Amino acid sequence: MIDAHLHIGHLGRSIENTIRHIDGIGADKAVFLPIETADREYEWLTEMVVEAHERYPDRVIPFCHVDVTRDDAVAELERRAATGVFKGYGEQKQHVPLNHPGLERVLAFCNEMRWPVTWHFQEGSRGYNQGIGHLETLVRRFRDIRFIGHAQSWWANISAEVPPPEETLYPTGPVVPGGLADRLLSDYENVYADLSAGSGLGAVTRDEAFGRDFLMRHRRKLLFATDCPCVDGRGTDYPPGCFAAKSLPFLRRMVDDPEALEDILHRNAVRVIGVKGD
């Protein structure tokens, strides 16, 4: 099993305790995602991921990130790519619109590298990568990027009816077919999604009949992931509980085809991120 979305520094978690989380949920390895922002809202630095990979090369799948508003953002990515260490880019989580020119320059480089890119989509005041309606334009332009959707506004768009972000970022109740996220997963070979956090879990559990069908239709497009901040993989130090402790039993109940479940828990990450399958 591969966790496609983890952070060092989440609620102050150390490298060692991030590895402990992987062990606790029963995963073999995980994607470690840095976030670097101009306002220093996040300082989960790429260098921390490099250190973790040097210490635990068989457990850590390293991604890199750069503040896309930097004038030298592409030059910095070129320097990092030259090391041959990184498997992808992200988590792209900044207070910028999706048509920001700096973001487009970075995506052009990721497209050259054929990297997967993990995204945080969140509309509303102080949101991240805003203007999700522009995403399809990027998906069409950068065909060699594997877009991995994540977070509140990505998963709200599992439904064709999306409440205003000031009303809720975590909609509940029946899903109306025809949502943007569902359509992009169906229509584009280079669009994927990770099932992490409360947003991913909430999307596939809010309407179980739709969720079961969604998981099976997109069995080769969905990556198991947690984005969980707890230390031990059981939520002992995190009162809401470990996301894996909630999502894994649900997935195992909903996806009763062992081959489809293996796709979601393991094989899709091997294929989409390009890691070894062992």
What are the residues facing 106 on neighbouring strands? none
DSSP 87: S
Helix orientation angle between 243-254 and 208-217, rounded to the nearest 10 degrees: 80
Q: Spell out the alpha helix ranges (H) of 40-170.
A: 46-55, 73-81, 101-113, 135-141, 152-156
Predicted confidence (pLDDT) per residue in 100-136, tens digit: 999 999 999 999 999 999 999 999 989 999 999 999 9
Long-range contacts of 77-80 (CB under 8 A, 24+ apart): 77/106, 77/109, 77/110, 78/109, 80/46
Q: Please give the pLDDT value at position 277.
A: 54
Q: Which residues of 121-143 are buried (b: 16+ CB within 10 A; e: fewer)?
A: bbbeeebbbbbbeebeebbeebe
Q: Quick one: 266 exposed, middle or buried, by C-beta within 10 A (0-12, 13-18, 19+)?
A: middle
Stretch 40-66: mean pLDDT, rounded? 95
Q: Please give the pLDDT value at position 39.
A: 85
- pTM comes to 0.96
- pLDDT exceeds 70 at position 174: yes
Query: 35 falls in which pLDDT band (50, 70, 90)?
Result: very high
- In angstroms, how far is CA 171 from the centroid of its own chain? 19
- pLDDT exceeds 90 at position 53: yes
